[in-house]
A and B are shown apart, each in its own frame.
Chain A
Amino acid sequence: MKPGHGEIVLAEGDVDVPADEQLLIDEFRAQLDAGMWAAVPQTSKAGRREARMVQAFDEIPRDAERVIFFPRAAGGA
């Protein structure tokens, strides 16, 4: 998510392909270093839609379709 732009695709790839996986890891780290939060939308065991916040690439489920990065939350006025 980007202010003024909405959704932007940062990187795409297959985690089973080593080159793609490294690309995804690099982009993941770059986004977290830039202060973004990362979340993976998923369906819980109870059938609810929810997000799973991830702080490391290893925490992303291997079958995840996407990871969404969004600005870190801060207290508002």
Chain B
Amino acid sequence: MLLALSATLIVVFVLLWEVTWPQISEALARRRARRQLIPVDAFDPGRERRAEQRARQLLRSCVNEEEWAMYRDLGFIRVWGGLAEGPEPGVSEQTDGGAPYAYLVYPHKPIVAYLPQTRQLLNEYCVEFPDETRPYGSPRLPDSDDVLAKWMALTGDERRLIASSNMHLPGRQVDPKQARRDLWRLSEWERSRLARERRSAPSSPAT
């Protein structure tokens, strides 16, 4: 009698176990999932600003003093086309002569090629520097790093950068009016800078 009762209880227990275990297991898994600590990259509002500050320092240490001042004051850098000789830096007469072509390098905007003598816009070269080391993409470079990357690629291997970019006619992304206005600002900036340098330079004795 006792044996039969025990066997019946065991069978009932096993059957109940078979029926309820999947539900219990699922409930336990849900509970574990709810309580699991998921690593989250907390947003740091100062991170981008600190990155930009570091990028500006790096840019300043790489370009010359004139280019850094240009970027600081105007927000872009002019890079002379490397396939032709540009003027000597800081010499106004030769600057007036100009080089056959040059580029305006903006942060996170296409590179604009133009003719310095006529201020005619030639092309826009759309180029990005995507970080391939992350599986799902990543935020873009800080502004100054983007400018520095373009500056290094243009001065180091102009052909390769241009070949990597998508070329468009002027006006696709950079407003031609804005670009011409920037060229005018650049000429005014150079004029005032040259005047300052002349004033600060010691006057040569009259002969």
> Which chain A residues border B128 with CB–CB below 8 Å?
73-76
Q: Check A47 for interface membership: any CB of B closer than 8 A.
A: yes
A37 at the interface (CB under 8 A from B): yes
A residues less than 8 Å from B161 (CB atoms): 73
Given contacts A4-B47, A50-B155, A70-B145, contact A75 B131 (CB under 8 A): no
Interface pick from B4-12, B22-30, B58-66, B196-204: B58-66
A7 sits at the interface (CB 8 A): yes
CA distance A6 to B56 in the complex (A): 9
A46 and B88 in contact, given A1-B55, A6-B142, A51-B152 (Cβ under 8 angstroms):
yes
Residue of B53, B130, B145, B148 touching A74 (CB-CB under 8 A):
B130
Specify which chain B residues have a CB less than 8 angstroms from the CB of A53 in the assembled complex.
152-153, 156-157, 160
A71: which of B64, B130, B156, B160 is its contact (CB, 8 Å)? B130
Q: Which residues between 3 and 54 of chain B lie within 8 Å of chain A, taking CB atoms?
A: 47-48, 50-54
CA gap between A4 and B130 in the complex, in Å: 12
Which B residues touch A7, using CB under 8 A?
Answer: 54-55, 57-58, 145
Interface string of B72-96 (1 = CB under 8 A from A): 0000000000000000110000000
CB neighbours of B145 from chain A (8 A): 1, 6-7, 70
Tell me if B141 and A49 are in contact (CB < 8 A). no
Q: Give the residues from 47 to 77 in chain A that come closer than 8 angstroms, CB to CB, to chain B.
A: 47-53, 68, 70-77
Check if B184 is an interface residue, CB within 8 A of chain A.
no
Residue count of chain B within 8 Å CB distance of chain A: 45
- List chain B residues, Cβ under 8 A from A76: 110, 126-128, 165-166
What is the number of residues of chain A that contact chain B, defined by CB distance less than 8 Å? 30
Q: B126 touching A75 by the CB < 8 A rule? A: yes
Is A2 among interface residues, defined by CB-CB distance under 8 A? yes
Residues of chain A within 8 A (CB-CB) of B178 are: none
Check B152–A41 contact: CB distance below 8 A. yes
Query: Which residues of A have CB within 8 Å of B131?
Result: 2-3, 71
Asked whether B135 is an interface residue with its Cβ less than 8 Å from the other chain, the reply is no
5 A-B pairs within 8 Å (CB atoms) are namely A4-B48, A41-B62, A47-B89, A50-B156, A73-B164
